[in-house]
Chains A and B, each alone.
Chain A
Amino acid sequence: MVCFQSLKREGFDMIRALAWLGFIACFSLGLLFPWSKTPLIMALCYGMASMGVAIMMRAGQVSFGHALYAAIAAYSVAFAARSFPEWDGLLLLLIGVLASSLAAALIGLFVVRYRGIFFGMLNLALSMVVFSMLGKFYNLTGGTDGLRINRPTLFNHTLERDTFETSLLMLCLLLAAVLVWGVQRYYKSASGEALAGIKSNETRLEYLGLSAKRILWNAYILSAALVGLSGALFGLVQGLVTPDIGSWFRSGEYVFISILGGSGHAFGALLGAAVFEAVKLFAAAYMTGVWQLILGVTLIIVILVAPDGIVGLLQKRKPPTGEAP
């Protein structure tokens, strides 16, 4: 008899090892190659955002507009930083996450009534409304030029560019690690398993006395908080926010990364982001002008060959002896 659980356990050990390896590698790379800090931070941001999108995918709902929350968080940070330049970077991050979570709590009330492609479409529409407004209301948002964010203090220390980046990298690594652990625990919790139950059988959940909408709403807020966090961090490291941070294409990239990494484990999104950024860098360095083509081909291959993503491949390793008759 195939033991489902031990198969998963083997895969998880592999993932745990990879996670440790990954974090140490990031840390070392950042210290050894100062130019790599910004790309590493970007990759971690992409990873955290995609983790957010993956949470909704666990319930079978794919949002094509989650970049909206990155935009809300990033622009909140920008507005706050301009109004209160003395505020610490950590406070700004908190503001960004709160803004996106509150928005999600409100929007979620409507959006969790939709399923499948309509869920995706509605999220897309909302993100496009905000995206177009960000681009057009020049006086408020700086239009397509965006808004600058001056480097704030971190932990109440004023930092030079280099130290700031290093600190942000450390912060990102820490946050990413905590999130992977936390989100994975959520996945294994009663709430997280019920969330997965929405994908396979929402009717059954209802007939067990559970509200699928409420479970989905909770997950939506969590996912938006993650995307918001990544948006806020992005704004801080770039020192600039533009409407692109909330474009439908960016949302598509988040979905891409979640599929690439696999939604079976919280770490999948980070794996996906690592591959994504690596391919982007490689393509930019050696084959300028075709990074989209390469990424597109990568996605095609993943969908055809490994639809459960990298994590899915890791969890499907050789089963223990003794197959079911």
Chain B
Amino acid sequence: MSTELMLLALADGVSYAALLFMVSLGLTLICGVMGIVNVAHGALYAFGGYTASYFTLLTLGHEPSTWMLLACLVAAALLVGVVLGTTLEVGLLRRVQMRDPVQQLLMTFAAFMVLEDVQRLIWGTQPYSAPDIIGRLGTVHFFNVTYTNYQLIVIPIVALLAYAGLLFFLHFTSLGKQVVAVTHHREMATALGIHAKRIGWLTFVLGATLGALGGAMAAPTTSMVPGAGADMIVLSFAVVATAGMGQISGALLASLMIGLARSMAVYLAPEWEVAVPYLIMVLVLLVRPNGLFSVAQARRI
């Protein structure tokens, strides 16, 4: 494989990994803190994407600056994350808080089904696209390879900012530390006076916003169609399961691994492209059942 193809594959892998990471970040946060595998995360991704495109289309009539376009994306993510996230957490998940994880998961699966149809009712089935920001930001050239700045630079930067921001929040702010406390031991945290319910809501909304941000950032690169959420959710599962539930830094590595492996496959063995993430997941789970970076469990009896 020529150097150019290699570099192209690398660039593909990195930009794809960045997107995957942003979506998986929210999913693994919710997994780790609330112990819920949120299937509806796919819907948050989709809603984020559609809303972002919608906002972009709205502002286009007013000759927006590039920053304005970027702000549309972020605003869309925030809106979807807060509104949809709150609805899901307060309306549904809180009611099954004490139930076993499977029922909680099924609840999110049901929510996903509902939201898929709601999405279709709002935005229809025609492809919805607003790629303007990509053109605005131009391209970058290196070694005879051309790649869009948006995909190669902006998306990874946003992803890394989100990652850094989340880590800072969790380790250096009082609220964040409370989230960590609730993760480790909900009962104990409550006994220490932490509002577990409020922390639960905050965490979920945070995770939802990150998922929606993933969709919002992805929206300019593709046209939003029904089913986009479903595809993304299974892939982010692969990342989260490979890294280990709740492993934030692990998710970064797993996203890179899966993103790069997949893009290599596109150029080397295209029929395996879709299967590669799941092959990695199977192989990792066979060797480390709890994920690559999970911690040991305490004694039970």
Direct contact between the two chains A and B in their complex (CB within 8 A): yes
Question: In the assembled complex, how far is the CB of residue B45 from the closest CB belonging to chain A, in whole angstroms?
Answer: 16
Most chain A CB within 10 A, of B103, B274, B278, is at B278
Which residues of A lie under 8 Å from residue B289 when comparing CB positions?
A: 113-114, 118
Could you tell me the distance between the alpha carbons of A137 and B275 in the complex, rounded to whole angstroms?
A: 11
Which residues of B lie under 8 Å from residue A293 when comparing CB positions?
A: 113-114, 116-118
Which residues of B lie under 8 Å from residue A116 when comparing CB positions?
A: 101
CB of A117 within 8 A of CB of B117, answer: no
CB of B113 within 8 A of CB of A299, answer: yes
Could you tell me the distance between the alpha carbons of A132 and B273 in the complex, rounded to whole angstroms?
A: 9
A296 interface neighbour in B37, B112, B237, B273, Cβ under 8 Å? B112
List residues 176-196 of chain A with CB under 8 A from any CB of chain B. Answer: none
CB of B114 within 8 A of CB of A292, answer: yes
A93 within 8 A of B: no
B295 within 8 A of A: no
Question: In the assembled complex, how far is the CB of residue A243 from the closest CB belonging to chain B, in whole angstroms?
Answer: 10
Question: In the assembled complex, how far is the CB of residue B233 from the closest CB belonging to chain A, in whole angstroms?
Answer: 9
B113 interface neighbour in A114, A121, A292, Cβ under 8 Å? A292
Which residues of B lie under 8 Å from residue A304 when comparing CB positions?
A: 95-96
The contact string, 1 if C-beta is below 8 Å from chain B, for chain A 8-51, is 00000000000000000000000000000000000000000000
A203 within 8 A of B: yes
Whether A125 contacts B271 in the complex (CB less than 8 A), given A249-B230, A256-B106, A304-B96, comes out as no
The DSSP consensus for interface residues of chain B is: helix
B111 within 8 A of A: yes
CB of B275 within 8 A of CB of A129, answer: yes
Question: In the assembled complex, how far is the CB of residue B84 from the closest CB belonging to chain A, in whole angstroms?
Answer: 15
Whether A296 contacts B121 in the complex (CB less than 8 A), given A62-B102, A303-B103, comes out as no
A289 interface neighbour in B115, B121, B241, B301, Cβ under 8 Å? B121
Could you tell me the distance between the alpha carbons of A117 and B114 in the complex, rounded to whole angstroms?
A: 23
Could you tell me the distance between the alpha carbons of A110 and B285 in the complex, rounded to whole angstroms?
A: 10
Could you tell me the distance between the alpha carbons of A11 and B44 in the complex, rounded to whole angstroms?
A: 41
CB of A295 within 8 A of CB of B278, answer: no
Question: In the assembled complex, how far is the CB of residue B196 from the closest CB belonging to chain A, in whole angstroms?
Answer: 21
Whether A135 contacts B274 in the complex (CB less than 8 A), given A62-B102, A122-B282, A256-B106, comes out as yes
CB of B121 within 8 A of CB of A290, answer: yes
CB of B109 within 8 A of CB of A299, answer: yes
List residues 268-308 of chain A with CB under 8 A from any CB of chain B. Answer: 289-293, 295-297, 299-300, 303-304, 307
Question: In the assembled complex, how far is the CB of residue B3 from the closest CB belonging to chain A, in whole angstroms?
Answer: 27
Whether A136 contacts B282 in the complex (CB less than 8 A), given A124-B237, A296-B112, A300-B110, comes out as no
A292 interface neighbour in B106, B117, B237, B290, Cβ under 8 Å? B117
Could you tell me the distance between the alpha carbons of A132 and B234 in the complex, rounded to whole angstroms?
A: 12
CB of B301 within 8 A of CB of A296, answer: no
Which residues of B lie under 8 Å from residue A203 when comparing CB positions?
A: 300-301
CB of B285 within 8 A of CB of A118, answer: yes
The 10 closest A-B pairs by CB, nearest first: A296-B113, A132-B274, A296-B114, A293-B117, A299-B110, A128-B278, A132-B275, A125-B281, A136-B271, A296-B110
